[in-house]
Amino acid sequence: MSLTNFAIIESTLREGEQFANAFFTTAQKVEIAKALDAFGVEFLELTSPLASPQSLEDCRTIAALPRRTRILTHTRCHMDDARVAVDTGVDGIDVVIGTSSYLRQFSHGKDIPYIIEQAINVVEFIKSQGVQVRFSTEDSFRSDLVDLLTIYRAVDQIGVNRVGIADTVGVANPRQVYDLVSTLRKLVSCDIEFHGHNDSGCAIANAYCALEAGVTHVDTTVLGIGERNGITPLGGLIARLYATDRSLVRKYNLPLLREVENLVAGIVGIDVPFNNYITGFTAFTHKAGIHAKAILNNPSTYEILDPADFGLTRYVHIAHRLTGWNAVKSRADQLGLELTDDDLKEATAHIKALADEKPMALEDVDAVLRAWHHRIPVPHAQTALAEITHRNGVAA
């Protein structure tokens, strides 16, 4: 098994535009495209040019940008759509059609023989125009396996560049994903793409298992935005791959991840979640005393990701009742305060007692440490510490 041969299809400008708060202007799309190009994703997927007049112009505009990233657009498996998409100048076209009984009955109303015939016609036309083409089933995991494999084999035989598996409603689990990809990998010679929604919380795990099973391309969006709960988040996939082997993601400009996420979050009017993979404000924050001591000795004890690789720093939080004297000692060292271990342990006990009364700030801890540094006798230290309790509204 090898995870080294994979590419990210970044779909913030297609799937992400289906997010409830996304109303991208052309200028915003260009800004996002440039940021993702700088980050180093291999592909950008854009909304179908048939969606609206602006969508058509956006495809043309972004396809014309100077870039390393290849530009894709996403269309129905329909010849009229394919003709318009080819004329936009994109590098590739991702065609899709629903194959589950739900979508065949309640969406397009076509049977499997029709889908195969249509897929062959559209794929052959796009290839004749010198444009790469992916064919994907929609709602793959609620489709009949025999139907899926019959369709995939038909398009593989005519030279499609990729076939796609889509967990459109987020129903699949990692084992199901691994099994389907493994089966398909034995059947087709072309590349395989995975698109996984996060309705049941498995998008990252499913994407990772798809890679383990032989997928070559994974769809992501920044912060996982998209239809309903969205799809595999770019940062989450990066975190999972980095935790496996950091060499897998060296091809990406990792310190730009926070900038990309802040850009998209600002445009769609949301906050980056506090517990977001890598960039959430608590991602590298350590609080419990036993954790802080170990982190100060060796960060690998409680960090599987190195914040420095992402242009970030860790934070040892000490202004609370769970703090430990080793963490307090580290802060005293930062402040240049020479204190004995006994002094530090006494100061730590006092910090804990204050924190039991009211939430504290780092400046409060610093005031305690300075009081002990000046050798104020403990019984009289209340005078020096009164400002803390008064500021926090606690009786001294």
Q: Please state the three-class secondary structure of the chain as a single string.
A: CCCCCCEEEECCCCCHHHCCCCCCCHHHHHHHHHHHHHHCCCEEEECCCCCCHHHHHHHHHHHCCCCCCEEEEEEECCHHHHHHHHCCCCCEEEEEEECCHHHHHHCCCCCHHHHHHHHHHHHHHHHHCCCEEEEEEECHHHCCHHHHHHHHHHHHHCCCCEEEEEECCCCCCHHHHHHHHHHHHHHCCCEEEEEEECCCCCHHHHHHHHHHHCCCEEEEEHHHCCCCCCECEHHHHHHHHHHHCHHHHCCCCHHHHHHHHHHHHHHHCCCCCCCCCCCCCCCCEECCHHHHHHHHHCHHHCCCCCHHHHCCCCEECCCCCCCCHHHHHHHHHHCCCCCCHHHHHHHHHHHHHHHHHCCCCHHHHHHHHHHHHCCCCHHHHHHHHHHHHHHCCCCC
Q: What is the pLDDT of residue 396?
A: 38
Q: What is the pLDDT of residue 76?
A: 92
pLDDT at 111 over 70: yes
User: How many beta carbons lie within 10 A of that of residue 318, not counting itself?
Assistant: 27
User: How many beta carbons lie within 10 A of that of residue 216, not counting itself?
Assistant: 16
pLDDT band at 175 (very low <50, low <70, confident <90, very high): very high
Kindly compute the dihedral angle of the four CA atoms of residues 369, 375, 380, 381, in this order, to the nearest 10 degrees.
0
Angle, helices 26-39/53-63, rounded to nearest 10 degrees: 40
pLDDT band at 333 (very low <50, low <70, confident <90, very high): low
Q: What is the pLDDT of residue 337?
A: 77
Share of the chain above pLDDT 90, in %: 65
Q: Which of 133-142, 164-173, 187-196, 336-345 has the lowest mean pLDDT?
A: 336-345
Q: What is the pLDDT of residue 153?
A: 96
Q: Which of 26-40, 215-229, 254-268, 294-308 has the lowest mean pLDDT?
A: 294-308
Q: What is the pLDDT of residue 109?
A: 60
User: How many beta carbons lie within 10 A of that of residue 117, not counting itself?
Assistant: 12
Residue 346 near residue 381, CB atoms below 8 Å: no
Domains and CATH numbers, the chain: 7-268 (3.20.20.70), 285-391 (no CATH)
Matching residue, tokens 């996420």: 261
Angle, helices 341-357/362-373, rounded to nearest 10 degrees: 140
**What average pLDDT does this structure show over 36-53?**
98
Residue 261 near residue 279, CB atoms below 8 Å: yes
Whole-angstrom distance, CA of residue 391 vs CA of residue 364: 9
Q: What is the pLDDT of residue 395?
A: 43
Q: What is the pLDDT of residue 112?
A: 87
Whole-angstrom distance, CA of residue 367 vs CA of residue 231: 47
**What average pLDDT does this structure show over 239-253?**
96
Geometric angle at alpha carbon 89, from 84 and 91, rounded to 5°: 110
Q: What is the pLDDT of residue 84?
A: 97
pLDDT, one tens digit per residue, over 334-381 is 668 788 888 878 887 887 788 788 887 777 777 887 877 776 544 444
User: How many beta carbons lie within 10 A of that of residue 284, not counting itself?
Assistant: 22
- Token pair for residue 194? 């995975």
Q: What is the pLDDT of residue 108?
A: 59
Specify the higher pLDDT residue, 3 or 116.
116
What amino acid positions are annotated as catalytic residues? 291
Sign of the CA dihedral 286, 264, 167, 137?
negative
Q: What is the pLDDT of residue 393?
A: 55
Specify the higher pLDDT residue, 354 or 145.
145
The partner residues of 133 in beta bridges, in order of sequence, read 93
Q: What is the pLDDT of residue 380?
A: 45
Residue 136 near residue 195, CB atoms below 8 Å: yes
**What do you get for the CA distance between the two ends of the chain, in Å?**
63
pLDDT, one tens digit per residue, over 61-82 is 999 999 999 999 999 999 999 9
Average pLDDT of the chain to the nearest whole number: 88
Specify the higher pLDDT residue, 296 or 45.
45
pLDDT at 36 over 60: yes
User: Rg for the chain (alpha carbons), in Å?
Assistant: 27
Q: What is the pLDDT of residue 334?
A: 67
